[in-house]
Amino acid sequence: MTLGGANALDFAGTGTNDLVVTGANAILVGSTADANVTIGGANPSDGANALYFVGSGTSNISVAGSAATLVGGTGTVNATLGGSGGLDLAGSGTNNLTVTGDSVAVLGDTTTGSVLDASVTGAYATISASAANQTVTLGGANALDFAGTGTNDLVVTGANATLIGGTGAETVSTSTNTLLFGGSGAMSLIGGAGNVTLVGGTGGSEAATVGAGGLTFVSAQTNTASIQAGSGSTEVLGNANGAVSYFGAAGQAGVTFFAGSGNETLDASSSSTNNNLFAGSGSATMSGGSGANNFVFYRTATLGSQDLITDFSSTDNLYLTGYDSTKSSTSYTAGQGLTLKLSDGTQITFSNLTNSASDQTKLQNATHYG
């Protein structure tokens, strides 16, 4: 059946329903039967503003008309959304979507265990998984994806995507510039050629593998993160009670860590990369690893903080900017290590150094005031 007139209303019967809709503002109501529905025609205005309530059967839908709205049912939906400005309210069944139109929005169902599979090449798409388990490829530019309570498997190939984590576990593989916000669920990230900015979720956890484009990681309160080095550089901005573990081999790019105002931990003890660690105004625990590391303290930033360095070695350097060397002193406490007290009250404890002449000399030779 072809519905060519405007404002058509069609109620599907119990048999297979084959419909072609070219008139504007059509309303279609599905049934328990299977359906094959084409919305749109040769002209962009054909089939515009259609509203389709999908039934419980298997529905094969092709949409070329603009601003179409699909309301999913309990059945399986196989849909190609080619018109711009479309809206798909996925049902509780399995939803297999191909999105080629621009500015299409897809909202997953609230039923736990529902399935949302989508391949997106249109620009400015918005996907919100809700309770659905989503498996989505975002190939269009400027996509926005909201993870939900289900599982979330995302592949990003379109530029400038923004991903917002939820309470469910999330796995992301991206090859382009991407902005991610972690949720309370665990996130696993594999970076690529584009630069990735990952903002950790409060109380969440992230595991990231750095790609050639590099990674900027912004920690959150009580956040735990694990970062595997790659060929691209890594920057970490610390946060209160956040803990970051960094792993890297010789020859890989190192990490630059900027501590904040809270008590945070950067553990690069298992790395052999050359790392840069900048103290903040909080109490940071820093481990540089076996590479040649730079520990940097700016008086204007540390503000009398108390910091701990666990693995200072003869290949490391300590840079103290804005401090008076004549007003610095060292002391040793058994079981805690060697402490360097600076002119503003900042204290740096080296837990692996003792009061021995060799350790004192090691620290003196590696310290640079400026």
pLDDT > 90? residue 31: yes
Q: How many residues does the chain have?
A: 370
Query: Residue 363 belongs to what H/E stretch?
Result: helix 357-366
What is the C-alpha separation between 21 and 47, in angstroms, rounded? Answer: 6
Of 250, 337, 350, 231, which Cα lies nearest the Cα of 297?
A: 350
* pLDDT mean over 291-301: 97
Tokens 């072609």 correspond to what residue? 20
* pLDDT mean over 164-172: 97
Give residue-wise pLDDT tens across range 188-236: 999 999 999 999 999 999 999 999 999 999 999 999 999 999 999 999 9
Using a 10 angstrom Cβ sphere, with 0-12 exposed, 13-18 middle and 19 or more buried, the burial of residue 226 is middle
pTM above 0.85, yes or no: yes
Q: What is the pLDDT of residue 13?
A: 85
Q: Which residues of 167-197 are buried (b: 16+ CB within 10 A; e: fewer)?
A: ebbbbbbbbbbbbbbbbebbbbbbbbebbbb
Per-residue pLDDT band at 173 (split at 50, 70, 90): very high
Residue 84, both tokens: 């711009």
Per-residue pLDDT band at 40 (split at 50, 70, 90): very high
Rounded to the nearest integer, the mean pLDDT of the chain is: 96
pLDDT > 90? residue 44: no
Of 84, 53, 52, which Cα lies nearest the Cα of 67?
A: 84
Q: What is the pLDDT of residue 43?
A: 87
pLDDT > 90? residue 11: yes
110 phi and psi, to 5 degrees? -90, 0
Q: What is the pLDDT of residue 191?
A: 98
Q: What is the pLDDT of residue 62?
A: 97
Per-residue pLDDT band at 28 (split at 50, 70, 90): very high
Q: Which residues of 57-80 are buried (b: 16+ CB within 10 A; e: fewer)?
A: bbbbbbbbbbbbbbbbbebbbbbb
Residue 251, both tokens: 């020859």
Q: What is the pLDDT of residue 167?
A: 96
What is the C-alpha separation between 171 and 152, in angstroms, rounded? Answer: 6
pLDDT > 90? residue 180: yes
pLDDT > 90? residue 42: no
From the centroid of its chain, how far is CA 169? 12
* pLDDT mean over 68-96: 96
**206 near 182, Cβ under 8 Å?**
yes
Q: What is the pLDDT of residue 15?
A: 87
Of 274, 273, 277, 326, which Cα lies nearest the Cα of 297?
A: 277
pLDDT > 90? residue 309: yes
